[in-house]
Structure 1
Amino acid sequence: MNKNQRTKNQSRRRFLSNSAALAAASMIPMNYGFTNPLDSQMVEKVDSNFGGVSIGTITYSWRSMPGGLENIVKYCNECGISSIELMSGDLETFLGAPENPMTAIFKSMAPPPPPKPGEKPAPRRRPEFTEEQKAQIEKYNQQMTTFRVDVDMNKVAAARKLLDDAGIKAHIVKFSPSRWSDEEIEYAFKVAKAMGAKGVSEEISEAAAKKLAPFAEKHGMYVVFHQHMQFAENEGFSYDPYIAVSPAIMFNFDSGHFWGSTGIHPNEILKKYHERIFSIHIKDKTGPDAEVPNTNQVWGQGQMPLEDVLLLIKKEKWPIYCDIELEYEIKPWSDAVHEVKTCVNYARQILM
């Protein structure tokens, strides 16, 4: 048994030994005694900083739950989370964005088949749009451009207040704006900054780095790039060329995707690039050499060295946001809020 496996087993035992206490505590809602959990005068503020390490989540983790910024506040409150990477859809809906006709179109389609273990999810098949649907989409795109360019900053202030009153900070807003017009990119950074975020996140690419870095520099913010399996799939892939583009470029290091696809300890990347890693996504996975490779697992049931990663960040006191990304299968008797809360408790037991 290697050192990583020993520490993982110790972490699991410590977590399980405290499970009874955690279960009892979980019976008391975070907003116990309050009649309206979204009333700014009555919300019990949460704090998910454990041992100096900020444990939060990307709100994508709740994609299976009803959306909306008010619900995000509720879910954070129930999970005990005070720090989020905010997906822009819930924010823009709150700000009054028009409804996307693609939502109804995709809902009417059969979902793609579930991926086989170790494989990427199959992309949703692009439908053959009718002429009427094409017109609806074109109209929506024009409406979104107008909405973004003319956004009501009073509504942004109201969105910020909703989070602030609940003690929740959005450190990133994931607008993914690299394919937008310059005016819309300007909107993304302006709104994210008004929300109190330090960065706008996007999927990593050289073109996106060159396009978005000047906007980040202008606003005194970061563009934060997220990776999937590029370290395994692209020979010689490195963060170095991106770092050379601008000091405003930072990284959202997905430690789970990295481990699952390469089998290399994520701490190797953390040690080398910690000054440029703004946040990490944390999840449990099997490694590439497992019988069922690179597959999401319930925390504590995979091979990802979660404890090593969190304890290194704690030891070195690196100001790296650690965000849960819930991607394993949720059983019918549970839901995403319950599972994220379980992950929060798992991380707490490691760090406290």
Structure 2
Amino acid sequence: MKTQEKISISRRRFLASTSALAIGTAMASPVWGMPAYIRDLGKPNSIFRGVQVGVITYSFRSMPSTAEDLLRYCIDANVSAVELMGPAAEAFAGAPEAPARTGNEEADKAARAEYFQTLANWRANVPMNRFKQLRKLYERAGVSIYGYKPSALGANNTDAEIDYAFRAAKALGANQANVEFPNDPVHTQRLGRIAARNKVYVGYHGHTQQTFDMWDGSIAQSPYNAINFDMGHYVAAGFEAIPFIEAKHQHIVSMHTKDRKSKANGGANLPWGEGDTPIAEALQLMADHKYKFPATIELEYPVPDGSDAVKEVAKCVEFARKALNA
């Protein structure tokens, strides 16, 4: 046998044996609770013409929602970036579990109060290593975490809890920790101060109370107070989304994207392309002007019979891809 043929056969044998070993090892070894084979699957990619299309994990609320479940859904829906809700990340990091309701109103109230105190203490003292592990788990599968939304940024949360929210966001790889827009300017100033200390933005999310100038006061308080814009709710409130994006883009850290009818047409949540929200135009604007904030799919229309949240999110991703001719 010629030397070159021997080399070729040896190489094929080597590749075959290493492939078999890799498959066997992948199927057998767990990585932080998830089978290692997930790292070997095709990675998702929802960046189209420079626009990062992401999803808030609230979209999968109708399905089991561990951190590992949510990652699987992202891969299946071809989503490569997420705004991660707090419960899954905190459970992954070992947070205390909420008590089950017993039906005894007084006992349940006392148990909840004790739980919130225990949770606040946990948040104030938890090391960041498990959040960093979660970031690595997602990144290995091709999914980045750009936003974190825990229930730790409210007026009743301690400064230590608020500080935790930004530290955890940073450990997860996020540049923003998001919260529903507070009515109290004292609280937005407090959040902006703690956000600035951590160099992580706080993105204020709005519903149909959104107006063109709703965020202006909080933005003036701190360079780390920012906008988590919801274009669907803005349209349902009776406003035009494109002029807002053009005027405020430098303060937007992420944009919740959904299709709603306008206020005049009833405001219903509908599958993408069936409402009055200019989703395609907004995505094209982001691409043309190279806006860097992600467009976050927030699934709020009813999931049709025979479908599920993952399939519907995948339809939104495909809508975005086609809208951007990618």
Q: Distance in 2 between matches of 1:38 and 1:252?
A: 34
Which residue does 1:230 correspond to in 2? 209
Which residue does 1:278 correspond to in 2? 253
Q: Distance in 2 between matches of 1:71 and 1:188?
A: 22
2:48 pairs, out of 39, 47, 50, with: 50
Q: 2:163·2:195 contact (CA, 8 Å) conserved in 1?
A: no
- Structure 1 residue 237: deviation in Å? 4.7
Q: Deviations over 1:186-218 (max 9, x none)?
A: 111111111110011011122431111111111
Q: Deviations over 1:289-314 (max 9, x none)?
A: 11xx0110011111211111111111
Greater Rg over alpha carbons, structure: 2
The AA in structure 2 aligned to 1:138 is: A
Q: 1:203·1:226 contact (CA, 8 Å) conserved in 2?
A: yes
- In the TM superposition, 1:1-352 aligns within 5 A as 38-39=35-36, 41-101=39-99, 104-105=100-101, 130-176=105-151, 177-179=153-155, 180-205=157-182, 206-231=185-210, 237-262=213-238, 264-290=239-265, 293-351=266-324, 352=326
Q: 2:148·2:169 contact (CA, 8 Å) conserved in 1?
A: yes
Q: 1:230·1:237 contact (CA, 8 Å) conserved in 2?
A: no
Q: 1:213·1:223 contact (CA, 8 Å) conserved in 2?
A: yes
Q: Distance in 2 between matches of 1:41 and 1:289?
A: 48
The AA in structure 1 aligned to 2:221 is: V
TM-score by length of 2: 0.84
- Structure 1 residue 44: deviation in Å? 2.7
Residues 148 and 238 of structure 1: CA distance in aligned 2, closer, same or farther (over 3 Å): closer
Q: Distance in 2 between matches of 1:297 and 1:141?
A: 36
Q: 1:48·1:80 contact (CA, 8 Å) conserved in 2?
A: yes
Among the aligned pairs, what percent are the same residue?
36
Higher deviation after alignment, 49-58 or 169-178: 169-178
Q: Distance in 1 between matches of 2:35 and 2:315?
A: 23
Q: 2:208·2:234 contact (CA, 8 Å) conserved in 1?
A: yes
SS in 2 for 1:173: strand
- Extract unaligned runs of 5+ from structure 1: 1-33, 109-127
Which stretches of structure 1, 4 residues or more, deviate above 3 A after TM superposition? 34-38
The AA in structure 1 aligned to 2:64 is: P
Residues 138 and 313 of structure 1: CA distance in aligned 2, closer, same or farther (over 3 Å): same
Higher relative contact order, structure no. (Cα contacts within 8 Å, ≥ 6 residues apart): 1
User: Alpha carbon RMSD of aligned pairs, Å?
Assistant: 1.9
TM-score by length of 1: 0.78
- Structure 1 residue 134: deviation in Å? 2.1
- Structure 1 residue 172: deviation in Å? 0.8
